[in-house]
Amino acid sequence: MIVDRIDEIISKYKNEEGVLIQLLLDIQREFSWIPKKAIKRISDTLKIPVSQIYRVASFYTALNLTKRGRHLIRVCVGTACYVRGGPRILDSIERILGVKDGETTSDEKFTLETVNCLGCCALGPVIEVDGQYHGKLSSANVEKIISGYS
């Protein structure tokens, strides 16, 4: 089943050059990460060395080689957010979810990441959940925000 879907995605790029990044993005869009099975299938089908695929996939931060949750929570720990309580927000989220920065919850619902800046310093401290920004946070309202995502 997963292999069939991977093969469908690969087939779109079969006779094209320079498609590796777009192919990896398509696979990630489908599965929320790039499984080892996908890397092996790409290598076998398109005759690209596994080492080259890993080199590309590990270079770009937009690509993920580890399984991620359905929802991505990014906590800003840049200077403006940091001085306004970003570390407390991160601690609260870690406590609520039971995971640390870079980890995914056991039910694969959430992945937690820290970032150096989300580009909205005036709203600090800020988190981003699935592309939606939440600013001027306190530890009290973080739990309400997270509970809104299922």
Percent of the chain with pLDDT strictly greater than 90: 79
pLDDT at 84: 96
Residues 82 and 131 in one domain: yes
108 and 55 both lie in a single domain? no
In a domain, 64, yes or no: no
90 lies in the same domain as 133 = yes
In this prediction, residue 62 carries a pLDDT of: 81
Residue 92 domain-assigned?
yes
Give the three-state DSSP class for 95: helix
Residues with pLDDT less than 50, the chain: none
Tell which phi-psi region holds residue 57, choosing left (phi > 0), alpha (psi between -120 and 50) or beta: alpha
141 shares its domain with 78: yes
Cis omega (within 30 of 0) for bond into 87: no
Asked whether residue 45 falls in the same domain as residue 79, the answer is no
pLDDT tens figures, 35-65:
999 999 999 999 999 999 999 999 987 898 9
Q: Do both 8 and 51 map to the same domain?
A: yes
Residue 81 has a pLDDT of 96
In SS3 terms, 26-63 reads as HHHHHHCCCCHHHHHHHHHHHCCCHHHHHHHHHHCCCC
127: CATH: 3.40.30.10
> Would you state the pLDDT for residue 135?
96
Q: Determine, yes or no, domain membership for 86.
A: yes
The boundaries of the domain holding residue 89 are 71-147
pLDDT of residue 95: 97
> Are residues 112 and 80 located together in one domain of the fold?
yes
In whole angstroms, give the CA distance from residue 112 to residue 93. Answer: 8
Q: Are residues 55 and 77 in the same domain?
A: no
Q: What tokens does 141 get?
A: 């309202």
CA distances in angstroms from 129 to 37, 74, 84, 146, listed in the order given: 28, 6, 19, 8
88 and 139 part of one domain: yes
Give how many domains the chain has, as a whole number. 2
